[in-house]
Amino acid sequence: MSRILIVEDEESFSDPLSYLLGKEGFEVEVVDNGLDAITEFDRNGADLVLLDLQLPGLSGTEVCRQLRQRSTVPVIMLTAKDSEIDKVVGLELGADDYVTKPYSSRELVARVRAVLRRQGEPEELISSTVQAGPVRMDIERHVVSVDGEQVLLPLKEFELLEMLLRNSGRVLTRGQLIDRVWGSDYVGDTKTLDVHVKRLRGKIEPDPSAPRFLVTVRGLGYKFEP
């Protein structure tokens, strides 16, 4: 049974979340501040941490950094603002995923299961550096550069770009991309993929309105042209 540590100071979120995950078969522990989160993790550990970004005292970002110093435990950040997403999954933070409040029960459980499943998979013996065209990715350092200039990408955009670059010149279907980046348990629609592709184009394309590298293959999916 996987153990989940919920770090959330609002009972209106933590109570139903604890009940939901317990009903899904998870062992759940709830704390309402960052200091207790670190203490609880050091004492009893966890298989996954659901961490609110806005906490009293020790912030969610600082809790995440301290957890990363101790462990590779998966962390899903809970945030109430879309504008905080880049901060949540920024290079320096290392969160594995994020969920924006208010979230659906089905989506949250799917995200939790997907992250736990990925954590349990053996690490693949693959190159830590990928390059195609003007884009270069250092996977271990989570660094992306375009024509030598560094570009900051949130986690999902990074994972999406990595898959496209590793399969440079090949068409990847929308289903393949969603399964790999969001997990086969993902229950949202494919518009999420389109939004991330649009954001990526804005960061890697000379003219995002006329994509040269990240191209659409109508009726199928997307392809990275080196």
pLDDT tens readout for residues 49-72: 999 988 988 988 899 989 888 888
104-159 tens-digit pLDDT: 788 888 889 888 887 765 444 445 788 999 999 988 778 899 999 999 998 889 98
Is residue 112 within 8 Å of residue 21, measured between CB atoms? yes
Residue ranges of the chain that CATH labels 3.40.50.2300: 3-120
Q: Look up residue 92 and give its two tokens.
A: 């320096």
Could you give phi then psi for residue 29, rounded to 5 degrees? -125, 135
Closest CA to 58 of 74, 73, 43, 41: 41
Q: Phi then psi for 147, rounded to 5 degrees?
A: 55, 40
Q: Give me the CATH code for the 3-120 domain, please.
A: 3.40.50.2300
SS3 of residue 129 by DSSP: strand
Q: Domain 129-224 belongs to what architecture? A: Orthogonal Bundle (1.10)
| 3-state DSSP assignment of residue 6 | strand
Report pTM: 0.54
